Structures are given as structure tokens and as C-alpha cells.
Amino acid sequence: MTKQPIAYLTGEYPKVSHTFIQREIEALRLNGWTVEACTIRRAAPNDIVGTDQHREARDTFCVLEAAKRPATLIGAHIWALRRDARAWAKAAGLAWRTRPAGLKAALWQVFYFLEAGVLARHLHDRGVCHIHNHFANSSASVAMLTSEMSGIPFSMTMHGPAIFFEPMHWRIDEKIARAAFVSCISHFCRSQAMYFSDPIHWDKLKIVHCGVVPDDYGHGPRTDRKKRIIFVGRLDPVKGVPLLLDAMARVVRDHRDATLTVVGDGPSRHAVEEQSRALGLGDCVSFLGYRASDEITGLLEEADMLVLPSFAEGVPVVLMEAMASRIPVIASRVAGVSELIEDGVSGFTIPAGDLDTLCARLDTLLSDGDLCIRMGNEGRQKVEADFDLSSEAAWIGALFEGALIETLPDSLRP
């Protein structure tokens, strides 16, 4: 069947920490899909890095920018009422029924409803036939209400772990019930979605991995080892960087030539830089801030291992990038991480927050270059087999096709 236009929505797009969404959209476009990129709000300027992201930002429809224009906001809801007053009223009722407790939360729900009217008008004008949303929180609320108001079916990708801390606040049970399908990034993610939804909807829960293009990584030989450790991620307490710095302070006693490169930015940057100075780590730790995707690829080429000691995660794409680069990884054994890393084979998984185990695993890799090479090769094979973006984009594209077929009259279905 001819690929009909679809829309991708999320809370902030594009942004450096969500490059996997941009890659997924690009892969779908390469497969012949017309994808209308939409975002609830613009990402902060320092979160948009590189030429590709700036270009994508220019071409992305921002709901809040449009909704802040009174004529656009009022006009969209007048259009929705004239088009189908019953659907508009049902969307208003759905917004009210699924509101979280408290006055402030109810007010936010009003905003989501107003945004839904603006998005519904925009998607109708663009001929969009399906909405797909990444993350199951506020942007998914807007997607669900837009779907109810416009009649355009929606689906969503669930990531976690944060959404599973407040599942009823965000009414993921209702979203799963109303979605055409739900893409879950791991078996763990799907299990949590099953726990918080009615079993009659479990067949909607499909595992679609985030992925990378393996051929973009791992071009250089892995023979020139210099004990270079890299961390890539948002500098936020959940990522466990203070634990990594404590570990570095220990391991450099035996590995004086070991270095750590911290790539990323965020609310904890000042604190972790201060900690590094207090620990006397000096030049063995460098903080680079955010870097564009191609720069990160180059930094992974130069690194000997990647460490991600997070306290909570989904299945981090940066681990896939490192494994595709043929370097071993050390990561906390949380959520779906063990579905990517086989402990002792392609890297090490450690108990979250366990400093002693982190130090021991760092010492093992810093002491054994041959092990690093073997683990790096195993990691590359794992990514090629199970986390190749082209395969995952084809799979989610097939789910879109199935959802679109379901919206056709019986006489037009294949």
C-alpha cells in the first residue's frame, strides 16, 4: 500500500539527548515515509547541537509556539467544533476523566487539551493519517487527546524508567487502551506496561528497539590502547557520575595513565567538576560538554571503554554506539540494560551504586587489553544482530502499515 503521511511527536525535539528519535525519523524517511516532525516545545539552544539538528529544528512544527498566538488557538478549536462537535466534546471529557489529582495538575490538563486542538488542526492541514509519540508522559497526553478530537489514530513508544514511577499520574493504562499499538524498547519495559494495563491490551505491546547504524562506528583498529575511559550522557544525578569520579580516584592509584572523558552537560555539571577538583583528579578527567553526533562517534573511536553507572535507565543508545565501536562497556544492571549487555561477554553489568564492583571491573579492563578487544568484538556482533536501526525502522514501519490498514473500510483492506 502507498505510505500515508504520519507525524512524530515528543515533548522536545530535536535535542542532543534524544538523537535516537531523529535517527528513527530519518530511517523511516529513507524507507519512503513522509514524517511530519512535531514538538510540544522548542529545546533550549544549547540542547540543539550540530548542523543536522539545527536543520531539523527549523522544519519541526512547535505546538506551543502556535498555541501562544490567540488567533491560532481559538481558530483551531472553532475548526474542531465545526468539523465534529461531538468529537471535540469527547476529547474534553477524556481530558477531564484522565486528569491527575490536584488543582495544578488539572490546569495542566486544560493546557494539554488546548494544545491538542492546535495539533489536530495542523495535522489535518498536512494530511497526516497517524500520530506516533515518543515517551508516555505529557506529550502522549496531547497525542491521545488529539487523536480523540481529530479521529487520527495514535501510537507511542514507551521508554521508562521515569514513567513507571508515576504510571497512574500519566494514565498509561488509558493510553495503552486507546493506542493503535505501543512500542516498548525492551522486554523489561513491556513487562511494566503489562503490569499497569488491562490484559486485553497486551497484544498491542510490541518490542521495538532503539537502534544505531553499525557501519557508522568502529572503523579504526583496536590495537593502540591508552586506558581511555569515556562517559557520554546528561549530567544529571540519575546518571551516577559522582560514583564514576569516586571510582577514578581509586583506580588511578594503580593505573596512573588512565583518563576519563566526560561528554555531556546538565544540572549537575558544576557539582561534578567541583568533585573532580576536590578528589585531586586534575588532568586525568576532562569535561567536554555536549558534542554533536559525529564528534561523539570520533570520541568513541579514540576511547578504550565506556562507563555508564546510572541509577535508572531504559536501554541507553550510547551503550549501543560504544558496542558498535568495538569497545567494552560497564553499566548498571537496571531495567533493560542486561538485554543489551551480556555480563562478562560484551562488557560488565554491575549493581547500581556499587562502588567496589565498579572499581573492580574498571581494574579488570584497564589491566587486560586482550579482554577489551574480545568484549568489543562481541558487543559489535550483538548490536548488528539485535539493535540495527534499519531493521528496527522496518519493523515499526510495518506496525504503522498495520495500524493504517485497520482504519480503512473493510472493502478497501487488502
Reported as a single tens digit per residue, the pLDDT across 280-302 is 999 999 999 999 888 999 999 99
Q: Which backbone phi and psi does 61 adopt, to 5 degrees? A: -80, 125
pLDDT of residue 309: 98
The kind and range of the H/E element at 206 are: strand 205-207
pLDDT of residue 226: 83
Q: Which backbone phi and psi does 283 adopt, to 5 degrees? A: -75, -5
pLDDT of residue 115: 98
pLDDT of residue 402: 93
pLDDT of residue 411: 43
Q: Where in the chain is the domain with CATH 3.40.50.2000?
A: 6-211+389-412, 214-386
Task: Report whether the peptide linkage leading into residue 161 is cis, meaning its omega lies within 30 degrees of zero.
Answer: yes
Separation of alpha carbons 170 and 138, rounded Å: 7
DSSP for 335-362 reads TTHHHH--BTTTEEEE-TT-HHHHHHHH
* CATH number for region 6-211+389-412: 3.40.50.2000
Say how many Å lie between the first and final Cα of the chain, rounded.
Answer: 9
pLDDT of residue 3: 86
pLDDT of residue 55: 95
> What is the tens place of the pLDDT at every residue in 223-233?
777 899 999 99
Separation of alpha carbons 110 and 400, rounded Å: 29
Q: State which residues of the chain have pLDDT below 70.
A: 1-2, 407-414
Percent of the chain surpassing pLDDT 70: 97
Superfamily of domain 214-386: Glycogen Phosphorylase B; (3.40.50.2000)
Separation of alpha carbons 225 and 219, rounded Å: 15
Region at 323 (left for phi over 0; alpha for psi -120 to 50; beta for the rest): alpha
List all residues 6 or more positions away from 398 whose beta carbon is below 8 Å from its beta carbon: none
pLDDT of residue 221: 72
